[in-house]
């Protein structure tokens, strides 16, 4: 299908590549690896030896307007790090965990992997191989196609409860038929100057610090742009952050109680008649039922649950509802609680009943160049194989949208062989035992049962050291061509290869070359550029054509529901069963779930297991990002590591005194499950002395490989269980009860 479409382009002063002072400069997009959630416009400078010497932000690119974070600025030291994996390797299965890899050729690696995967498919069925990836990588389309073209329905993430963005995304699709983001003018190439655009008056920053996390296609410093233009903010965060210090109101919510807070705010907005009657009447379904449910959450009760002052909740609700234009920029804290789906539903309802829907400065539906939410090539699977996807029978919501396995069900299959044995693991850029895997020792023990394990990554990791039989070296983004289509509002951009490091290949190249061997009809392309051209055929550009003009913006239209642009039948409304935004969700009711938002105490927690408070008196939240690191990456880049040499736990001075701790002490952070090491950072900006907060995904690349780089000393997910929500979405990664005790000299985890 080739459709003539209209794009809004920007003027470029120069072609996409040019010479400057003896260096070659290439314009393009910064995605990935290393991991990243956004993909800024960059200028890559290479010298006559083919080395990347400098990365600059592209001032012409409207997305970041020349600005750039330190992980891209320091990228030459990542791409050319001497620690990179630069050739394929193998290791005897009996030697897993030993630092005894042997260099092999790509031909040997691909020949053996092809033969082994075909053998497993024949003997046990292709469903017995799981294909897994990490986050923030441009590989979902290709790894899912690799899995499906091989015949396995089991593509996904080794993350309990799929607790990162998928609960929110699936929730939004289930209840509104679309996907929603804050309007920061990012859909317009002329940005804040666009005549149709208006700034939000109020933005809630809920469960994320976007300046550092830059998640889901959202360039965090747009918030600062808007604040300087006069926007007010409400910050929901247990810590007083830099943004909090500049906010109108801070709601220091107890980790894991976000749903209650949102329901309390709904109670105020409905109870005080501050909602948008016209919007609710015309476009929403189930308002009366929602109003009844919100009555169960009076503010005083919510204040007690959330440990937030009741008047502050009321003031925040009024400020938000009374604003002409308001939006919610939310983060992964919403997903990383077990009942994430109703939490996201309650927060979404705040924007819906106030009518902040697809209008300037509200929540907008990001435009799409190509739809990629459902993966790339689901049609390659037979219905028989599709039905074998792990978790689909237990969790009917998995039938909608993202076609991933349910990770908790997958773990049980790895452990028990129920409903079938797992024989092979394909781990592409996921450092599971350092990062997203809960209870990583449990996951590792289950993974070791597989007969055959292939890992692909940029660097050696604890996960590769523990598990890999074959290791394939992946490329950083300056080493590859690629498409940057985007999370959030899509724009057509390309990633442009300017250097080659060792024998590294891009993730897409690896998937194409292996895919072609396993199922040639599904991978008919000569090379990745031909594959990309075929993928973007509907845009009317080929790869080279898009590269020349990028970024290409689809023309944006507000109020699509009024214009009949959201439903296949062309009638006004939203793409749901009722044609309305469903405050009472038909899809949830049909799946046997509560159709209305609700709050359930995280377990364990102060509300559900008060008897544990004597032993574990602190509420810990985890996963706060720091500037120089993307999840488990960048510990081996000295310039970036120097900003955060050690894993830190922020402890309130009053709590530290109680535990006899001082700044810089190494402590065990322990709960009923296990413990992990951290260094104490006394931090008065924790807004309740019972809160503490730590970063995640730590390992020491400088430590002994055969001690797995001390990952089990350092991984805070030692304290997290595999316990998903009722829908299969959500898990308690960010709210647990802990105690702190000093690490004795030389003491290790085991």
Partner 1 sequence: MAEYGILVDYEWCSGCHSCEVACQMEHGFEPDHFGIKIAELGPWQIAGKKWQHANIPLFSEQCDLCAARTTQGKLPTCVHHCQAACLSYGTLDALAAQLKEKPQQALVALR
Where do contacts with partner 1 occur on this chain (CB under 8 A)? 54-57, 59, 65-70, 73-74, 76, 211-212, 220-221, 224-225, 227-228, 240-242, 244-245, 250, 627-628, 638-639, 642-643, 684-685
Q: Is the distance from CB of 217 to CB of 488 less than 8 angstroms?
A: yes
We find the least distance from the C-beta atom of residue 69 to partner 1, in angstroms, to be: 6
Rounded to the nearest 10°, the torsion over CA 721, 725, 729, 733 is -30
Question: Residues 551, 557, 559, 561: is their CA dihedral positive or negative?
Answer: negative
We find the least distance from the C-beta atom of residue 694 to partner 1, in angstroms, to be: 18
We find the least distance from the C-beta atom of residue 68 to partner 1, in angstroms, to be: 5
Rounded Cα gap, residues 143 and 135, in angstroms: 13
We find the least distance from the C-beta atom of residue 642 to partner 1, in angstroms, to be: 4
Rounded Cα gap, residues 660 and 667, in angstroms: 11
Judged by beta carbon, residue 68 or residue 365, the one nearer partner 1 is 68
Judged by beta carbon, residue 42 or residue 181, the one nearer partner 1 is 42
3-state helix, strand, coil in the chain (%, to 5): 35, 15, 50
Q: DSSP string of 374-394? A: T-S-GGGS-HHHHTT-TTTTT
Judged by beta carbon, residue 5 or residue 639, the one nearer partner 1 is 639
Quickly tell me which residue has 């009844």 as its tokens: 292
Rounded Cα gap, residues 610 and 88, in angstroms: 52
Q: Is the distance from CB of 738 to CB of 620 less than 8 angstroms?
A: yes
Rg of the chain over all Cα atoms, to the nearest angstrom: 25
We find the least distance from the C-beta atom of residue 76 to partner 1, in angstroms, to be: 7
We find the least distance from the C-beta atom of residue 232 to partner 1, in angstroms, to be: 15
Judged by beta carbon, residue 14 or residue 277, the one nearer partner 1 is 14
We find the least distance from the C-beta atom of residue 625 to partner 1, in angstroms, to be: 12
Rounded Cα gap, residues 292 and 270, in angstroms: 10
Judged by beta carbon, residue 69 or residue 471, the one nearer partner 1 is 69
Stated as kind and residue range, the H or E segment containing 70 is: helix 70-73
**b/e sequence 268-303, b meaning 16+ C-beta within 10 Å:** bbbbeeebbeebbeebbbbbeebbebbeebebeebb
Judged by beta carbon, residue 194 or residue 315, the one nearer partner 1 is 315
Judged by beta carbon, residue 133 or residue 209, the one nearer partner 1 is 209
Task: Please name which of 362, 36, 367 lies closest in space to residue 218, comparing C-alpha atoms.
Answer: 36
DSSP bridge partners of 69:
none
Judged by beta carbon, residue 226 or residue 583, the one nearer partner 1 is 226
We find the least distance from the C-beta atom of residue 320 to partner 1, in angstroms, to be: 18
Judged by beta carbon, residue 9 or residue 643, the one nearer partner 1 is 643
The tokens for 546 are: 């898009």
We find the least distance from the C-beta atom of residue 64 to partner 1, in angstroms, to be: 8
Contacts of 349 (CB under 8 A, 6+ apart): 262, 266, 290, 583, 597
Judged by beta carbon, residue 212 or residue 472, the one nearer partner 1 is 212
**Cβ neighbourhood burial of 194 (10 Å; 0-12, 13-18, 19+):** middle
Judged by beta carbon, residue 67 or residue 93, the one nearer partner 1 is 67
We find the least distance from the C-beta atom of residue 36 to partner 1, in angstroms, to be: 14
We find the least distance from the C-beta atom of residue 251 to partner 1, in angstroms, to be: 12
């Amino acid at each position: 299908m080739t459709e003539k479409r209209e794009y809004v382009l920007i003027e470029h002063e120069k072609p996409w590549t040019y010479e400057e002072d003896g260096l070659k400069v290439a314009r393009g997009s910064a995605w990935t690896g290393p991991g990243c959630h956004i993909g800024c416009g960059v200028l890559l400078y290479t010298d006559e030896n083919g080395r990347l010497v400098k990365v600059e932000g592209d001032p012409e690119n409207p997305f970041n307007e020349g600005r750039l974070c330190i992980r891209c600025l320091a990228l030459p030291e990542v791409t050319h790090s001497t620690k990179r994996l630069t050739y394929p390797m193998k290791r005897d299965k009996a030697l897993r965990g030993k630092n005894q890899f042997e260099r092999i050729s790509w031909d040997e690696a691909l020949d053996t992997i092809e033969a082994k995967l075909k053998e497993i498919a024949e003997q046990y069925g292709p469903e017995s191989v799981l294909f897994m990836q990490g986050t923030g990588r441009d590989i979902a389309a290709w790894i899912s196609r690799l899995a499906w073209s091989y015949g396995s329905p089991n593509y996904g993430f080794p993350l309990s409860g799929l607790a990162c963005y998928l609960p929110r995304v699936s929730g939004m699709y289930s209840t509104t038929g679309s996907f929603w983001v804050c309007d920061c003018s990012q859909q317009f190439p002329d940005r804040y100057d666009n005549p149709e655009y208006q700034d939000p008056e109020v933005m809630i920053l809920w469960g994320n610090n976007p300046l550092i996390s830059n998640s889901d296609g959202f360039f965090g410093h747009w918030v600062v742009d808007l604040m300087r233009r006069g926007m007010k903010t409400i910050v929901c965060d247990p810590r007083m952050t830099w943004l909090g210090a500049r906010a109108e109101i801070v709601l220091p919510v107890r980790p894991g109680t976000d749903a209650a807070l949102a329901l309390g705010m709904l109670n105020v907005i409905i109870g005080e008649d501050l909602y948008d009657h016209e919007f609710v009447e015309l476009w929403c379904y189930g308002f009366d039922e929602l109003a009844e449910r919100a009555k169960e959450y009076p503010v005083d009760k919510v204040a007690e649950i959330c440990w937030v002052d009741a008047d502050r909740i009321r003031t925040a609700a009024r400020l938000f509802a009374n604003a002409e234009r308001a939006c919610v920029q939310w983060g992964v804290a919403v997903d990383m609680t077990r009942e994430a789906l109703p939490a996201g539903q309650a927060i979404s309802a705040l924007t819906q009943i106030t009518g902040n829907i697809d209008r300037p400065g509200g929540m907008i539906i990001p435009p799409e160049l190509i739809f990629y939410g459902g993966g790339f090539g689901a049609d390659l699977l037979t219905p028989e194989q599709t039905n074998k996807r792990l978790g689909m029978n237990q969790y009917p919501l998995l039938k909608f949208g993202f076609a991933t396995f349910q990770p908790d069900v997958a773990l049980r299959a790895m452990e028990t062989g129920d409903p079938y044995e797992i024989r092979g693991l394909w781990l592409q850029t996921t450092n599971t035992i350092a990062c997203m895997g809960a209870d990583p020792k449990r996951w590792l023990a289950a993974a070791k049962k597989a007969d055959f394990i292939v890992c692909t990554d940029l660097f050696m990791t604890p996960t590769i050291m523990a598990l890999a039989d074959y290791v394939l070296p992946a490329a950083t983004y300056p080493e590859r061509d690629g498409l940057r289509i985007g999370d959030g509002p899509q724009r057509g951009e390309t990633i442009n290869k300017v250097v080659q490091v060792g024998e590294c290949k891009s993730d897409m190249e690896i998937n194409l070359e292996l895919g072609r061997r396993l199922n040639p009809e599904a991978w008919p392309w000569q090379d990745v550029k031909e594959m990309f051209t075929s993928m973007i055929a509907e845009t009317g550009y080929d790869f080279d054509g898009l590269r020349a003009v990028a970024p290409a913006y689809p023309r944006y239209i507000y109020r699509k529901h009024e214009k009949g642009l959201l439903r296949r039948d062309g009638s006004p409304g939203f793409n749901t069963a009722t044609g309305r935004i469903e405050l009472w969700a038909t899809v949830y009711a049909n799946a046997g779930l509560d159709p209305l938002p609700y709050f359930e105490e995280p377990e364990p927690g102060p509300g559900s297991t008060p008897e544990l408070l004597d032993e574990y008196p602190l509420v810990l939240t985890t996963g706060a990002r720091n500037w120089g690191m993307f999840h488990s990456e960048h510990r081996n880049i000295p310039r970036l590591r120097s900003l955060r040499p050690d894993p830190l736990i922020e402890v309130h001075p009053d709590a530290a005194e109680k535990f006899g701790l001082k700044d810089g002490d190494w402590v065990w952070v322990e709960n009923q499950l296990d413990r992990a090491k951290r260094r104490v950072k006394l931090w008065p900006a924790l807004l309740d002395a019972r809160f503490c907060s730590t970063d995640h995904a730590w390992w020491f690349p400088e430590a002994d490989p055969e001690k797995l780089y001390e990952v089990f000393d350092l991984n805070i997910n030692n304290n997290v269980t595999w316990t998903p929500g009722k829908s299969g979405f959500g898990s308690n990664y960010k709210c647990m009860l802990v105690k702190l005790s000093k690490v004795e000299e030389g003491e290790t985890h085991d």
